[in-house]
Structure 1
Amino acid sequence: MSISRRQALLMGAALSVSLTAGACGSSDDGGSGAEPLSDADLRAALKAGGSITVWSWNEPMKQVAEDFMAKYPKVKVDLVNAGTNTDEYTALQNAIKAGKGVPDVAMIEYYALPQFTLAKSLADLSELGADKLKSAFTPGPWNAVRAGTDGVYGLPVDSGPMALFYNKEVFDKHKIKVPETWEEYFAAAEKLHAADPKAYITNDTGDAGFTTSMIWQAGGKPYTIDGTDVGVDFADAGSRKFAAGWQRLIDDKLLAPVTSWADEWYKGLGDGSIATLVIGAWMPSSLQSGVKTAAGKWRVAPMPQWESGAAKSAENGGSSLAITQASDKKTLAYAFLKYATVEAGVQTRIDQGTFPATTEHLGSRAFRNKKVAYFGGQRINQVLAESAKQVVPGWSYLPYQVYANSVFNDTVGKAYVSGTSLQQGLKSWQEASVKYGKEQGFTVK
């Protein structure tokens, strides 16, 4: 992601889910049963021209849209910022329900995509030929845009394979070795805070996206999805592994009580009182723009492992571009999607700080060998690209994950401010998620 991280990761208001919600409008070209689009079809649509409306809060998308229109002057892209994540999702859901004002294309984060897919609000892009693009994307983002055995409901815009961002100056000062395992990380947390009571290994006041990503890396699969049959189980081995380990940091008060993306957080990242972040690969641009005083101090290392010698990672954040079922300009919209996600638009976004989801760019020598001055000249993309290959397969989000994330602070979040344990908080989160799912008509266990 290259949008405001503060907004992108906030847990917003819940969106309602309706299992009976259908698409508004009708499909034109590339509807159900149509032959997949050929390159000739796309060229013809671009030559004929027309106007499409794209909802996106992503700043680099402005340049992508301008370049696209310059290349195809008969096409007009009306780029609209309808709000960031849940604000946009609420507006999109309302427009679909009303049957008017629905955009042709919408940016939707991976965790929210299942909600719109299940409600049949998005076009199946496999009917437009998107299933042929599997090899163009890394496994994590590609899995996130798929549903069922064949359906593709978005094309990845970016990705967030996780890594350890650390302040080398702080580590060197206190003679702390870069941790390769979580056990070493917990030991480093103790050593750092003992040496400087104002310094913490990291901050955490409770974040749904971080928690699910950590469980993901630990091998947890708390969500099982089969159509409208849903399972929620935070007592699985991966969830318990994360909860037990992270509880040690909470119990020993080794986490900075600072909320991410707040002014105090940026200050801590700059002055060394927050020494690491375990976060997605989109973070470099935020450090470079928001923590300029720490230029040259930060480095990137692989995500610590639960088992020594393992090489497992997870995704943290990331977005797709989807075509709404209501759009009557699906061919033109799909041409824009391809341009933005697998063609020239990818490099445009990389140049503005986006971490790509495309195998071509992640594997390119120029991308991997780029030295980043902010990180002391380190070739950080080598670490981040390897992480993308190591994402644990098989992760699923709930078809109402937007709602689930909105009640995280009322459940798991209590573990950070009371005597409630993380495992107890996860159980409460599970119960709330099960209850809501049943109320929405899902079969939940």
Structure 2
Amino acid sequence: MRAAFRSGAVATLATAALIITGCSADTGSAGTAEDPIELTYWTWADLDEVVDLWNEEHPEIQVTVNKQDGGDPAITKLLTAIKAGSGAPDLIQAEYQKIPTLVASEALADLSGTIDGELAGEFTEGVWDSVTLGSDAVYAIPQDTGPMMFYYRADIFEQHGLTVPTTWDEYAETARALRAADPNAYLGTFSANDAGWFAGLAQQAAAEWWSIDSDSWGVGIDEAPTRQVAEFWGGLVEEGVIDNKPMYTPEWNAALNDGTQAGWLGAVWSPGVLSGNAADTAGLWKAAPLPTWGGEPTNGNWGGSSTAVTSQSKHVEAATEFATWLNTDPEAVQVLVDTASIYPASTDAAASALTEAPEFFSNQPDFYDIAADAAASVVPFQYGPNVNVAFSAYNDEFAKAAEAKTADAFTASVAAMQKITVDDLESSGFTVTK
């Protein structure tokens, strides 16, 4: 396996995975209704109903949900428990970008010896790559995913005779045409407050922000694909045809409502945001594939999470059985869709569970057909063990670039992200390939 190590720590991620699995005193699925295996699951999602279904059908393995804050707080809490040697759950909901951090900290068990050999076929290559880090080890079972999509106000497009862009060159031309037709309107905004959004756009362009080779990490943020994306957006902001305000602000919400934001580069989960922030515009929006750079369709991912088994679990086999059922069983996935509003990572489960368009997009019955194509074209993208540092650098550096409104400032931000990320890896004891 290609792997990374901290100086003075275990030699490689592959070796660490073997050590972790060996330390887990697994009793498998040997529980009984009278003496069940008891598992704890840390998650921020509303999973009580689906876990109740499991517990009813599997009296020999009982799962208790422990609701946690999402994002960094849950990861910090888990790593604290792992370091202390006690208090960690059996399972944890983990965002894809957090998995390398957890693996490098020896917090996750390798599930490759306990999963069905056909399981990988349930998921697209891009999603499966996120839980394997390009190796034979399996660190989690994918749960939901966030393929990116382009949302636009169909009424405004019709009013001004605009066509839906299929390439980024066409997107730029449509942005210019909209500004010419309505000087108050924008086709979108460059947002410096969500690094996952920009990472998804870079992913579509075939960027490789991190890579693993033998015993070292490579960092490729400041390379041609990401620079291409930054130059494109910096040029549009400098030209004044794309807004430079961040998403999720009262100003942005108001623009969604009044039509001065006539488009949004979002993800498959965006209907929930639009219905919550611009409810009165239901039926006016439509979804389309993300514009491409040309050639074969590719896509990026914005968001999504998995179910991982921790290195302190004494029941890796039972926990893996539950995690697999949770994320691939048609009945379980249907409950997840109905109660937690996810877009399933399992392609077959998504097709069977999502048969009607979101209510906000009732005017577009083929919404989930478009979403399925978007999910199928997501390309692999490697995250690294210090993604939090890179994402924080994005927020800081691109906030300055968005205010400067020059393409040069955007490309300089990419270089700054690269340096900050490499410096942090080295200061944390990782070997970095130059």
Same fold (TM over 0.5): yes
Structure 2: runs of 5+ lacking an equivalent: 1-5, 11-15
1:139 equivalent in alignment to 2:130: no
**Normalization by structure 2: what TM-score?**
0.88
Q: Say which SS state the counterpart of residue 78 (structure 1) adopts.
A: strand
Q: Say which SS state the counterpart of residue 113 (structure 2) adopts.
A: helix
Structure 1: runs of 5+ lacking an equivalent: 1-16, 31-40
Q: Deviations over 1:212-238 (max 9, x none)?
A: 211111122232222541122334221
Counterparts in 2 of 1:100 and 1:262: CA distance versus 1, 3 Å: farther
User: What is the identity, as a one-letter code, of the residue corresponding to 1:424?
Assistant: A
Shift of 1:149: 2.6
1:248 equivalent in alignment to 2:235: yes
Q: Which residue does 1:36 correspond to in 2?
A: none
Q: What CA distance in whole angstroms lies between the structure 1 residues aligned with 2:7 and 2:313?
A: 20
The question of whether the paired residues in 1 share the 8 Å contact of 2:148 and 2:301 is answered with yes
Q: Which residue does 1:276 correspond to in 2?
A: 263
User: What is the identity, as a one-letter code, of the residue corresponding to 1:122?
Assistant: L
Residue of structure 2 aligned with 1:355, choices 324, 343, 355: 343
1:198 equivalent in alignment to 2:184: yes
Counterparts in 2 of 1:45 and 1:148: CA distance versus 1, 3 Å: farther
Counterparts in 2 of 1:361 and 1:148: CA distance versus 1, 3 Å: closer
Shift of 1:275: 1.6
1:27 equivalent in alignment to 2:42: no
**Normalization by structure 1: what TM-score?**
0.86
Q: Which residue does 2:3 correspond to in 1?
A: none
Residue of structure 1 aligned with 2:53, choices 67, 71, 81: 67
Counterparts in 2 of 1:19 and 1:388: CA distance versus 1, 3 Å: farther
The question of whether the paired residues in 2 share the 8 Å contact of 1:189 and 1:254 is answered with yes
Counterparts in 2 of 1:137 and 1:267: CA distance versus 1, 3 Å: same
Shift of 1:26: 3.9
User: What is the identity, as a one-letter code, of the residue corresponding to 2:120?
Assistant: K
Q: Which residue does 1:425 correspond to in 2?
A: 413
Write the mapping of 1:153-302 to structure 2, written as runs, cut at 5 A.
Answer: 153-206=139-192, 207-226=194-213, 228-302=215-289
Counterparts in 2 of 1:313 and 1:79: CA distance versus 1, 3 Å: same
Residue of structure 2 aligned with 1:53, choices 19, 23, 40: 40
Shift of 1:156: 0.4
Residue of structure 1 aligned with 2:391, choices 400, 405, 409: 405
Q: What CA distance in whole angstroms lies between the structure 1 residues aligned with 2:214 and 2:114?
A: 22
Q: What CA distance in whole angstroms lies between the structure 2 residues aligned with 1:67 and 1:290?
A: 33
The question of whether the paired residues in 2 share the 8 Å contact of 1:25 and 1:328 is answered with no
Counterparts in 2 of 1:148 and 1:378: CA distance versus 1, 3 Å: closer
| Residues matched between the structures, number | 413
Q: What CA distance in whole angstroms lies between the structure 2 residues aligned with 1:181 and 1:292?
A: 29
Shift of 1:76: 3.8
The question of whether the paired residues in 2 share the 8 Å contact of 1:346 and 1:356 is answered with yes
1:91 equivalent in alignment to 2:88: no
1:115 equivalent in alignment to 2:101: yes
Counterparts in 2 of 1:87 and 1:228: CA distance versus 1, 3 Å: farther
More deviation, 379-388/354-363: 354-363
Shift of 1:178: 0.6
Counterparts in 2 of 1:184 and 1:199: CA distance versus 1, 3 Å: same
Shift of 1:131: 4.6
Q: What CA distance in whole angstroms lies between the structure 2 residues aligned with 1:218 and 1:289?
A: 30
Q: What CA distance in whole angstroms lies between the structure 1 residues aligned with 2:347 and 2:191?
A: 34
Counterparts in 2 of 1:167 and 1:258: CA distance versus 1, 3 Å: same
Shift of 1:398: 1.4
Residue of structure 2 aligned with 1:392, choices 365, 369, 379: 379
Q: Deviations over 1:363-395 (max 9, x none)?
A: 44x73x5344422143111011011111224x2
Counterparts in 2 of 1:148 and 1:118: CA distance versus 1, 3 Å: farther
User: What is the identity, as a one-letter code, of the residue corresponding to 2:125?
Assistant: P
Residue of structure 1 aligned with 2:319, choices 327, 333, 353: 333
The question of whether the paired residues in 1 share the 8 Å contact of 2:124 and 2:347 is answered with yes
User: What is the identity, as a one-letter code, of the residue corresponding to 2:24?
Assistant: S
Counterparts in 2 of 1:327 and 1:210: CA distance versus 1, 3 Å: same
1:443 equivalent in alignment to 2:426: no
The question of whether the paired residues in 1 share the 8 Å contact of 2:21 and 2:110 is answered with no
The question of whether the paired residues in 2 share the 8 Å contact of 1:19 and 1:118 is answered with no
The question of whether the paired residues in 2 share the 8 Å contact of 1:53 and 1:77 is answered with yes
Q: What CA distance in whole angstroms lies between the structure 1 residues aligned with 2:74 and 2:314?
A: 21
Identity %: 31
